[in-house]
Structure 1
């Protein structure tokens, strides 16, 4: 009788797992692997090892109960923070960024782990606290700022930008929409201040701050944040010139230039030019799997990572690209659906963090390959080559699935 009870309980738990999101995950993984194989057989072979390892990690995730993840969240965040600091001393410089630990043939990027740990610690803090609590709000702000700065100065500006996705999570938990608008304003101000003189920027900021102070007299936390963002914007020319590597500067500069111009097409505009060419050459139905001439000619550098989507455009055409975009949106939408139906704050907050991280990755990566955003090293989740990123995305998604299955099992 006891064995039958255990079997019945296990079957019930398996039935509570959201198989729809797992099916979409498997589809994206397989389609991503097919396209990576088309770009580079060697890279695909290495990626397969990470995919298998990620599948093993799924079983490990399901062994533990959600309470273990809740209790372990602070320790995991401290560990990843230590790894981010340690990379400056023990890490290896790859492509101009000291962002990697190298152990034998394995390259490991701690910034990927920090996305998981930050998602967990924010869910942990807001599980029993409110975002409107000043102490909690500023603690979360510090938690977001510290790892993002450590990642930025590696330098890896792309990964640091991903931490802005957590503000969308905080918005779901009660952060006013005005704060999100201030963040967007600050980012735009950062870009424009690269070319606008100080004698125009500083008076402009003073006027905005004065109006902002009149509107938000009692909301001191937003005033402090606005001042921080403004200071960051004023310092942007220094940050741009002193902290970023030459290739990072080129990637931002080309956003305001014409990559087809003779002056740029053979240097800083080369990647973007051939990325657009590859996508456009696919026409409606594409050239077919493994038949992309630009892909096979390896005209697009780093096509296996940042520019993997242009392979989809060339070999699968507009139809294939559209289907992939729809699948991604369904995947992200399903994550939000699972998040919203959670019976506790921890599961909901973690779920929204997962969805927002993937959503920002997805939007920026597509924007990069189409010239709408600078090339800043943002991968396409489950598609681009990279073991650390694939593993971290898998862990994030299946942490949510594990928590959702547990909640459905216990509350139905």
Structure 2
């Protein structure tokens, strides 16, 4: 009888796998591969090996019970932190960032593992405790700060920004929108003065305006006035000194990538320097017009005018060879994919599955949003790949593991619910 129930349970969770989202995953992967093949046949061949390894990892993921992913999440997170620390001593510097382990022919980036382990440990923690518990909230903040700080110090500011996606997950679990707005304001306070000192003055007066609104909205105690005055002094001072802090922390090319967004990349002063990538990225996308030039017929792609077109700027190939129509179709598939993850997350019968699902969806959403924004000049070039699409073995493998971990838990939850 027990064997019959076990067989039924296995069949049930396999039948409860969401095949619709898996089909979308394979469509995006296939479309990404043929675009990568158009950019570089050599890199496409290497990527094919990683795709094969990723498919094997799917079988491994489904061979373990979901309880193991809960129980070992803390250990996995600690191992990830050790790997992030170890990269400063044993890692190799590539493109100005010491964020890679080189093991024979394999390049491995521990920051990709950090996305998986952080998702699991936060899901496990909030599965047991409420976010309203201040102690738990500060522990979660520490969990987010540790890997993002270590990644930022490599320096890899792009990958560290991805950890902001977890605040969207926390918002779903009850985090106040005010806290998120404070974080956005703090980021603006930190970054914008880098472009011009005058921006720090503007931001200071903006905070002063908000300060006046707060103190006049309702009656306050004397301590509240003192509190807001202290905040105003701290934030105003910080906005003035932030450019000097960033110029010491970030490398010149990071600062240039931010500042070019506020310049004209077509200007002769920038077009052959810091505006080169953005100029040819926009040119490649626009040259495809409505229907594109056709597969493997992109002149800018074949001429390799856009640097890093196989990773950061892979969307340029879509715009040039498949045109506006192909770009829109790709965007629709990504939105369907991310939307389906959110839909499945809401169907979970336990908080662990729901929180993990939202973490997966939000990580992919932020990657998708920033990567397309980089290619179109809406966001600085910070080394964010397009999930399942850009070249990169460790990134493709990590996204696949992250996604199918959630699918494994979803299938298990749905089958248990039916039984």
TM range (shorter): over 0.9
Query: Which residue of the partner structure matches residue 282 of structure 2?
Result: 276
**1:81, 1:225 → 2: CA distance?**
33
Query: Which residue of the partner structure matches residue 248 of structure 2?
Result: 242
Query: Which residue of the partner structure matches residue 261 of structure 1?
Result: 267
Moved over 6 A (4+): 1-4, 213-218, 222-232
Query: Which residue of the partner structure matches residue 303 of structure 2?
Result: 297
Kindly tell me: are residues 175 and 374 of structure 1, through their superposed partners in 2, closer, same or farther at Cα, counting changes over 3 Å?
same
Query: Which residue of the partner structure matches residue 172 of structure 1?
Result: 172
RMSD (Å) for aligned C-alpha atoms: 2.6
Residues paired across the two proteins, number: 410
Shift of 1:275: 0.6
Query: Which residue of the partner structure matches residue 397 of structure 1?
Result: 403
Query: Which residue of the partner structure matches residue 134 of structure 2?
Result: 134
Query: Which residue of the partner structure matches residue 62 of structure 2?
Result: 62
Shift of 1:201: 5.1
TM-score, normalised by the number of residues in structure 1 = 0.93
> Does the 8 Å CA contact 2:191/2:243 hold for their aligned counterparts?
no
Shift of 1:146: 1.3
Please say which of residues 35-44 and 198-207 is displaced more in the overlay.
Answer: 198-207
> Does the 8 Å CA contact 1:183/1:229 hold for their aligned counterparts?
no
**Structure 2: 5+ residue stretches without partners:** none
**1:227, 1:25 → 2: CA distance?**
50
**2:260, 2:166 → 1: CA distance?**
28
Query: Which residue of the partner structure matches residue 28 of structure 2?
Result: 28
Query: Which residue of the partner structure matches residue 114 of structure 1?
Result: 114
**1:259, 1:287 → 2: CA distance?**
24
Query: SS of the residue aligned with 2:100?
Result: strand
Query: SS of the residue aligned with 1:385?
Result: coil
Shift of 1:188: 2.2
Kindly tell me: are residues 116 and 376 of structure 1, through their superposed partners in 2, closer, same or farther at Cα, counting changes over 3 Å?
same
Deviation track 1:90-132 (CA, whole Å, cap 9, x = no partner) reads 1000000001011111110000100011111111110021111
> Does the 8 Å CA contact 1:201/1:234 hold for their aligned counterparts?
no
Kindly tell me: are residues 144 and 297 of structure 1, through their superposed partners in 2, closer, same or farther at Cα, counting changes over 3 Å?
same
Kindly tell me: are residues 140 and 271 of structure 1, through their superposed partners in 2, closer, same or farther at Cα, counting changes over 3 Å?
same
**1:270, 1:89 → 2: CA distance?**
34
Query: Which residue of the partner structure matches residue 288 of structure 1?
Result: 294
Kindly tell me: are residues 234 and 165 of structure 1, through their superposed partners in 2, closer, same or farther at Cα, counting changes over 3 Å?
farther
The residue correspondences of 1:28-107 to structure 2 (distance < 5 A) are 28-107=28-107
> Does the 8 Å CA contact 1:123/1:347 hold for their aligned counterparts?
yes
User: Do residues 163 (structure 1) and 163 (structure 2) align?
Assistant: yes
TM-score, normalised by the number of residues in structure 2 = 0.92
Query: SS of the residue aligned with 2:21?
Result: helix
Shift of 1:187: 2.2
Query: SS of the residue aligned with 1:193?
Result: helix
